[in-house]
Structure 1
């Protein structure tokens, strides 16, 4: 199926559309209040759909510290020069002006679930009837010995897009002739399963043009990875001899780094590198832990409405949620947001709620016009969001098919960002 902007928005909107009824939960304070923390693919989408479909019946506040949001999806294409930084940057003005969402640019630093309040770094306190968390990821401390967030300028992660993406791109462009780029891949589960391998492809695309004798090392703790056959076929075809992957059988699980010396220790073998992209193990964004809804790393949720399993008035979307079979992706977060918005609106206004359905597709670019994809449909069960069926690009596809897949991803990007930010 080919998605363009109109089709993408329509697919999710059909599932979320229902007539609003007068508010049934006011508790003496007027309109029911929803606070959304995190303004990415999950948070921005759920805020917009709540405000749009309730037609003003719900007071929606979106808390997001950044005034410009850089999408992680398509940030690898920025590193390769297929898009500009401003193309993946988005603001929140339309959500405020057109949909009446109260957009607050501040950090949420505390959640009192008993009092139903959120405290902001600036001192303000927000009350809620429903709280929706979509905080994305944070990194597990000491996941890669020798690396910490304090070392991210020397060895960037670039797994939160923006300045880190700019830094990594600059480092790649400044590599000495014949130098070595290393990527330390994360263990499962993590944001965007194909993401590290698309990054390897995009870095190889750059080096092939400006530094063809350079080498790329991929140090990977996983036995296999998303779209492995497609990526390895592409690497062999486009970047012959440039990329070497060191998996768990060859020391990929026993890795430490030294940012001061720019070295990597791989099971006792020390490698000097010129650029090191460390993508550590991940967990839910910190506010989820502060709210007391995580299992230590992720947030267990109910599939039908993305509500926390410890608090029915707290809902968690996207990367932070432990929801079942869906990968942690922008498309998945956007899909979950529409289901959550419908459920929350139903709970607060009495509007009709339809059975939860979810979709996801992840596109990756291997080289110019060589796009591949994987995706699935899902349904809510009593235990989890469960996969119903799926699809994946095939090895050996012709150039026209791969180009069409890449063009499809461009249409999807236009569609999802319009769906998020209005």
Structure 2
């Protein structure tokens, strides 16, 4: 039987779990080669850093268009006025100091035959192994009207300008107004995060605009940690939050940005503030590389993270079809490190070890009130499957435990960002 994931293990998070993945073979590796990593989020940056640490002879290049990464975890607190956007920003100086070449350009083309990546300024980079960690893009075709709606009905699902736009709209909303949050079906980035957002917005409204409401329009009937969220909503916010599930007509079918109207299967809504999160797919460069299939996501070999569609290309993070492992920062970080171990072994002519990944997801629904879900994952056939040993917060836990888990969430964020970006 596998040992359970304890609260302390969850706080340490992926930094500990991923370090143990194939560690002996990584430390002995000394194989020269060129690895290009596209995407500097939790998956890509963690992979690049692990590669550089594993083998000083490797030429590791990280291609990322932004000089500063803005973290999605904890960005809901920025929307609710509990945190400033600066606390979400991380640079790549420490990665550069560790021997990683940082290219501040967008990857615009990939030739998998000649193994070259082209950037927006026309420069090309050859590789022996390529890692794609492009995160998500939005599937606008699946939500008619939204391609012109992001400035009036912000998604805030990529942290940054949209996060601040939604915050400003909340601040400008009159007391007694309604904010609607439209949630897409899975697969999507961090499935519990929209419900955390609804909670923290309700916290903001309760203290600033107590006659206001939060309306959730949901394309799902059930969601992760639902009982914990619903108990917290009842305890903290009374009837301030209303959720319309899929079977009640909650799935959004189109939007009209000119009137801020949200169209569902059973009716229309025109809230004062509309936070519409569109359906998602892998970041565009994955399709350019030929690594995305008809689902819009990237099938991989779960042992090596190598694409099943194109050779010598690996995919980590939100973009990949990971089976049971969620699309989250902790999962992306673990995948990046495990992928680095596999690449080092492949370049050295060794068979990679099967990884065992640990992921943890924290949700903070009010200051001092949090809960978590953790799991262990390993390859089973063509996907990652959850194996025995995960842990979730008990529904009837005392408030003291909720306060401890909120504090643990803060420590987890400090740990994963330091381990990823230095």
Instruction: State TM-score, norm by structure 2.
Output: 0.94
Q: CA separation in 1, counterparts of 2:314 and 2:275?
A: 33
CA drift at 1:355: 3.1
* 1:27 equivalent in structure 2: none
CA drift at 1:251: 1.4
TM-superposition CA deviations, 1:87-113 (whole Å, max 9, x none): 11100011001x110000101011110
* 1:166 equivalent in structure 2: 164
Q: CA separation in 1, counterparts of 2:36 and 2:65?
A: 14
* 1:325 equivalent in structure 2: 324
* 1:19 equivalent in structure 2: 27
Q: CA separation in 2, counterparts of 1:7 and 1:376?
A: 11
Runs of 4+ in 1 over 4 A off after TM superposition: 3-8, 350-353
1:340 pairs with 2:346: no
Structure 2 stretches of 5 or more lacking a match?
Answer: 1-6
Q: CA separation in 1, counterparts of 2:360 and 2:14?
A: 11
* 2:415 equivalent in structure 1: 415
CA drift at 1:383: 2.2
Structure 1 stretches of 5 or more lacking a match?
Answer: 24-30
Over 3 Å counting, the alpha-carbon distance change for 1:155 and 1:9 in structure 2 is same
* 1:9 equivalent in structure 2: 15
* 1:28 equivalent in structure 2: none
Q: Does the aligned pair in 1 maintain the 2:303–2:353 contact within 8 Å?
A: no
CA drift at 1:419: 1.3
Q: CA separation in 2, counterparts of 1:381 and 1:268?
A: 40
Give the alignment of 1:160-309 within 5 angstroms: 160-267=158-265, 269-296=267-294, 297-309=296-308
Q: CA separation in 1, counterparts of 2:215 and 2:308?
A: 41
Q: Does the aligned pair in 2 maintain the 1:50–1:341 contact within 8 Å?
A: yes
* 1:81 equivalent in structure 2: 81
Q: CA separation in 2, counterparts of 1:392 and 1:337?
A: 24
Q: Does the aligned pair in 2 maintain the 1:32–1:59 contact within 8 Å?
A: yes
Q: CA separation in 1, counterparts of 2:387 and 2:266?
A: 44
Q: Does the aligned pair in 1 maintain the 2:300–2:382 contact within 8 Å?
A: no
Give the alignment of 1:33-72 within 5 angstroms: 33-54=34-55, 56-72=56-72
Q: CA RMSD in A?
A: 1.6
Over 3 Å counting, the alpha-carbon distance change for 1:67 and 1:347 in structure 2 is same
TM-superposition CA deviations, 1:299-320 (whole Å, max 9, x none): 0001101110123310000100
Q: Does the aligned pair in 1 maintain the 2:14–2:330 contact within 8 Å?
A: no
Q: CA separation in 1, counterparts of 2:189 and 2:232?
A: 22
Q: CA separation in 2, counterparts of 1:174 and 1:396?
A: 37
1:90 pairs with 2:90: yes
